[in-house]
């Protein structure tokens, strides 16, 4: 796996800062003001902006303990948005630096959702579109065959959606601003709520949330107050994936600041997901993609000296109990022999760095 030159990794960091500044300026214009608020014993920042009718409209910013938010609230600076310069950076990073740009539809959709406030409201981009961001995040070149997609998956924690007291604009309107043919997909349960939206060409946008309770709710869409009228399908194991996500860039147009799962969590989660795929319809193809993406991340994490990170999150998943252990064992057993051996090497290496015991998912 070829590494990406440090020069281009530095350029990506510069693009990220410029794009974050631009997004911040759009969300929090000079005529507004930051206001602290306590919600259930925790301090959060909100932003009050005149609504043009003598009142104010309040936007959720984020938790007070987030150092990035605290710094920006303290500074409240406005950096000039230089779209042309950022677009040149994106072109250089993708054409010369070997980083990945998404297909136009995926990029436009994520950009529209980001502009509506998705990541400000602590949504997380997951699935293959998130995987595309790991090339720049880890500084390695990933093969195109592992990143092709025809959908976009978005996750948000259920408790966060209920507590932020803010919402995206109507999801249908955001999606139709990209393609007017987007429509809600009837839910399989028969519920009037929709957790997925699809356009005339079959491109699908789906919203997901964690399910840590009874399986009685697994086939029922969860109401998500912050998602602009969209519901979300509760999924097992998703809370592990979206815990402690990271900020990075989607290299589309002039750059889109996004939030994605930690790559180590993504890799372990893909093993578990692969073990639960059905083998009918598209299930087998999706399982193969899950395993391929996991294997590529094992290699990338080893190459970039992040084996300790992988071992830590692996142990976290393993210690969650028998169902998790069975999913990891089954997924590992589906890996090609070379990829399984690399996974073992990275885990052992990481456990030594962490000075922790580790129980491997296969025999010695």
Which H, E and C letters describe 20-59, residue by residue? HHHHHHHHCCCCCEEEEEEECCEEEEEEEEECCCCCEEEE
Query: Tell me, what's the pLDDT at 280?
Result: 72
Using left for φ > 0, alpha for ψ between -120 and 50, and beta otherwise, residue 157 falls in beta
Is the distance from CB of 190 to CB of 227 less than 8 angstroms?
no
* Choice between 363 and 335, residue whose per-residue pLDDT is larger: 335
Please check the confidence at residue 332 and state whether its pLDDT lies above 90: yes
pLDDT tens, position by position, 83-130:
788 899 999 999 999 899 999 999 999 999 999 999 999 999 999 999
Higher pLDDT, 265 or 29: 265
Q: How many residues does the chain have?
A: 364
What interhelical angle do 307-318 and 322-334 show, nearest 10? 130
Average pLDDT over residues 38-58: 85
Whole-angstrom distance, CA of residue 290 vs CA of residue 138:
19
Give the mean pLDDT of the chain: 89
Taking a C-beta distance cutoff of 8 angstroms, is the pair 93, 137 a contact?
no
Tell me the CA distances in angstroms from 138 to 3, 29, 248, one per residue in order. 9, 33, 10
**From CA 116, how far away is CA 14, in angstroms rounded?**
23
In angstroms, the Cα distances linking 256 to 15, 86, 166 are 9, 10, 21
Residue-level pLDDT at 145: 60
Work out the pLDDT band at 81, boundaries 50, 70, 90: low
Would the pTM of this model clear 0.75, i.e. be above it? Answer: yes
């Amino acid at each position: 796996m070829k590494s990406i030159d440090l020069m281009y990794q530095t350029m990506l960091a510069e693009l990220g800062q410029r794009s974050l500044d631009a997004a911040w300026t759009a969300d929090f214009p000079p005529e507004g003001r930051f206001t602290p608020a306590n919600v259930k014993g925790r301090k959060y920042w909100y932003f009050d902006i005149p609504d043009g009718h003598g009142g104010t409209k309040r936007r959720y910013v984020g938790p007070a303990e987030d150092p990035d938010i605290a710094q920006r609230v303290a500074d409240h600076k406005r950096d000039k948005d230089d779209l042309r310069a950022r677009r040149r950076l994106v072109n250089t990073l993708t054409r010369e630096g070997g980083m990945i740009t998404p297909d136009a539809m995926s990029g436009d959709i994520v950009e529209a959702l980001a502009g509506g406030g998705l990541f400000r409201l602590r949504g997380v981009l997951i699935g293959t579109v998130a995987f595309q961001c790991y090339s720049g995040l880890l500084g390695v070149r990933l093969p195109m065959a592992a990143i092709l997609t025809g959908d976009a998956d978005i996750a948000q924690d259920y408790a966060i959606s209920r507590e932020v007291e803010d919402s995206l604009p109507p999801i249908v309107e955001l999606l139709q601003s990209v393609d007017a043919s987007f429509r809600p997909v009837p839910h399989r349960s028969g519920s009037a709520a929709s957790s997925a939206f699809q356009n005339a060409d079959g491109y699908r946008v789906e919203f997901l949330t964690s399910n840590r309770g009874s399986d009685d709710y697994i086939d029922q869409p969860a109401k998500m107050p912050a998602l602009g009228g969209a519901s979300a399908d509760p999924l097992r194991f998703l809370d592990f994936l979206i815990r402690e996500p990271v900020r990075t860039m989607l290299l589309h147009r002039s750059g889109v600041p996004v939030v994605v799962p930690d790559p180590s969590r993504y890799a372990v989660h893909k093993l578990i997901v692969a073990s639960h795929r059905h083998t009918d319809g598209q299930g087998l193809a999706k399982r193969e993609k899950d395993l391929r993406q996991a294997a590529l991340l094992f290699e990338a994490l080893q190459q970039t000296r992040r084996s300790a990170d992988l071992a830590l999150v692996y142990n976290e998943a393993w210690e969650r109990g028998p169902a998790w252990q069975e999913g990891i064992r089954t997924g590992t057993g589906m890996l090609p022999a070379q990829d399984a051996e690399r996974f073992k090497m990275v885990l052992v290496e990481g456990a030594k760095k962490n000075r922790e015991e580790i129980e491997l998912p296969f025999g010695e």
